[in-house]
Structure 1
Amino acid sequence: MFKRIPTRTFNSILLITVVILLFELMFFGGGFIFTALFLGFLMYLGWKNFDSLIGKILFWVGIVSLVLNVLNMFAVRFLFIALIILFFLQYRRSKNEPEYIKPRFIEDTKQQTETLTELKPLFQHRFFGDQKTDDVPYQWRDVNIHGGFGDRVIDLSNTVIPEEAVISIRHLVGNIIIYVPYEVEVSVHHSSMFGQLSIFKGHEMKLFNQSVAFQTENFQQGKPRVKVVTSIFSGDIEVRRI
């Protein structure tokens, strides 16, 4: 049913929600920001010590409290109410204007659609939890994911890398480790609010609200090569030769 809703309508609702959110944070959000940072810190401590009972308690208390605080915001309430109203309007419209599905016959047999093959992504978007590539040989697919909490480990030694591979990761809290074979050229574009960068044990630096870029000497001409584009709010990235 929601597929029939114009994209412009969704965009308008989201734009109004963002305006309300900014207004709310500017004039009434001091307490919420402090509370959100505190609860996020509790979640981080709980996740790091999730094996213990106190870690589990801190983690789930942080999540439940943060969700309740978010639901109390005017912007979130507006978004829920707008979506509910939009749902009922669309439901009423579907009753008055039912969608008819008619068979379509191809008159020109020469016209053929292109054949597409769906590929299974190497990683799925996951807000919580660690992810790593298989320890056995696997078929390479470019990585383009975002996540919340946890570590990401990508081992390129167990796959056949094409002439040019891309790894794009946007993450909140956690570490990223990428193992690269010696014969592969590498380019790294990384941005971080808090964290540390380590590339081949020869380039190490602390980052604070910075963006950096490095590439191997023969990256432009050499193949195979891998382009790494990462963004982390708080966490370390390490690129190692293997």
Structure 2
Amino acid sequence: MFKRLSTDTVNWILIVGVILFTIEIVFFGGGMIISALFFGLFIYVGWKRFYKLWGKIFFWFGSIGLTFAIFNMMAIRFFVVAAIVLFIINYSKSKKEADYIQPSNQFQDDSNQETIIKTTPLFSHRIFGNQQTTNQAYQWKDINIHGAFGDRVIDLSNTVLPDETAVISIRHLVGNIEIFVPYEVEVSVHHSAVFGRAHILGTDHNKLMNQTLFYRTANYQSTLPRVKIITTLLSGDIEVKRI
């Protein structure tokens, strides 16, 4: 169904959804959004202590509460209604317009087609749970992930960085990020956080409130190997240290 949607249609749906979110925050005091964040905190605390009985209770209580809070938001209701309407419209069109496949006898010239290689990323997008690099040697691949709850640990001492700028990009809601960098690697760190703390190569920020930090080592611009770290957190700590 979604393959049939034009970019303009998707953009208008997203714009209306953002407007409804804004109306709910401005005119209704954030109602269900605050409740969703509250239940999300329950989920995070329960997940961190899931091996205990009270942790399981916190997790499932938060999950049920978050589900009800989300589906009581005006914007989410709009998305559900929009999805149903689009499904009906596209289903109706598909019944009227049959897809015809006509074989072609023309020879397709692939001589100028570029060869590309698909690789498996080091990390996958995960909403819940912790992720970390393996303790054994591994082949480096740039990291570009987002998540919701859990910790992310990246150890660069078990890999060989390329003779170019390696990139680590993490967008996360609640959790901690730890990155271990060898001494011979130059580092650039661009970190944004709403709440949390930062410990970057010996420099400490014990209270971040909607701040952005930018640090880099002295020889970052001229020396290889080097790693560029870009992180965004809603609530959590980041630690970048030598190993």
TM-score scaled to structure 1, two decimals? 0.93
- What are the within-5 Å matches in structure 2 for residues 155-194 of structure 1? 155-163=155-163, 164-194=165-195
| Aligned 8 A contact 1:2 1:90 in 2 | no
| Aligned 8 A contact 2:174 2:236 in 1 | yes
3-state DSSP of counterpart to 2:127: strand
Pairs aligned (count): 241
CA drift of 1:54 comes to 0.4
CA drift of 1:214 comes to 0.7
CA drift of 1:185 comes to 0.6
- What are the within-5 Å matches in structure 2 for residues 6-155 of structure 1? 6-105=6-105, 107=107, 109=109, 111-155=111-155
Q: Which runs of 4+ in 1 moved over 6 A?
A: none
CA drift of 1:183 comes to 0.8
Name whichever of 107-116 and 88-97 sits farther off.
107-116
Give the unaligned 5+ runs of structure 2.
none
Given the alignment of the two structures, is residue 225 of structure 1 paired with residue 226 of structure 2, yes or no?
Answer: yes
C-alpha distance in structure 2 between counterparts of 1:59 and 1:11, whole Å: 34
CA drift of 1:38 comes to 2.6
1:65/1:240 CA distance change after superposition, 3 Å: same
Given the alignment of the two structures, is residue 241 of structure 1 paired with residue 242 of structure 2, yes or no?
Answer: yes
3-state DSSP of counterpart to 2:147: strand
Aligned-residue RMSD, C-alpha: 1.7
3-state DSSP of counterpart to 1:113: coil
| Cα offsets for 1:142-172 (capped at 9, x unmatched) | 0000111111000111111012100000111
C-alpha distance in structure 1 between counterparts of 2:160 and 2:30, whole Å: 51
CA drift of 1:78 comes to 1.7
1:104/1:137 CA distance change after superposition, 3 Å: farther
C-alpha distance in structure 2 between counterparts of 1:30 and 1:19, whole Å: 13
C-alpha distance in structure 1 between counterparts of 2:112 and 2:90, whole Å: 35
3-state DSSP of counterpart to 1:222: coil
| Cα offsets for 1:223-242 (capped at 9, x unmatched) | 00000000111111111211
C-alpha distance in structure 1 between counterparts of 2:101 and 2:194, whole Å: 51
TM-score scaled to structure 2, two decimals? 0.93
CA drift of 1:30 comes to 4.0
C-alpha distance in structure 2 between counterparts of 1:93 and 1:128, whole Å: 38
Amino acid at match of 2:74: F
Amino acid at match of 1:183: E
Name whichever of 39-48 and 190-199 sits farther off.
39-48
Give the unaligned 5+ runs of structure 1.
none
C-alpha distance in structure 1 between counterparts of 2:216 and 2:236, whole Å: 21
